Amino acid sequence: MWYVYILLCRGNSYYIGITNDLERRFKDHQEGKGGAYTKSHKPIRLVYSEPHPDRSSALKREIQLKKLSRIKKEKLVAEIKITL
């Protein structure tokens, strides 16, 4: 199973990515081993995740989410509550 996820980062920004292990990937981001963006904008918490059956579909959805406006991302995040 693959996941598209959204992290809330310092500065009230969002980071969107994909992984097949949410807990490990979040830990990587917190330790500065994740994406370049999260090295300078430390993640605060995971605010959204969406399961996908394979990497390909997760990548397609990641691209869709990255194209959303800030307001639409906030609406999506508000609809789903995540605890990690």
3-state secondary structure the chain: CEEEEEEEECCCEEEEEEECCHHHHHHHHHCCCCCHHHHHCCEEEEEEEEEECCHHHHHHHHHHHHHCCHHHHHHHHHHCCCCC
Q: What pLDDT score was predicted for residue 35?
A: 84
CB 14 within 8 A of CB 23: no
Instruction: Report pTM.
Output: 0.92
**Quick check: 44 and 8 in contact, CB under 8 A?**
yes
What does the pLDDT read at residue 80? 78
Task: Give the start-to-end residue ranges of the domains of the chain.
Answer: 2-79
pLDDT in tens, the chain (84 residues): 999 999 999 999 999 999 999 999 999 999 998 889 999 999 999 999 999 999 999 999 999 999 999 999 999 999 876 655
Q: Does domain 2-79 have CATH number 3.40.1440.10?
A: yes
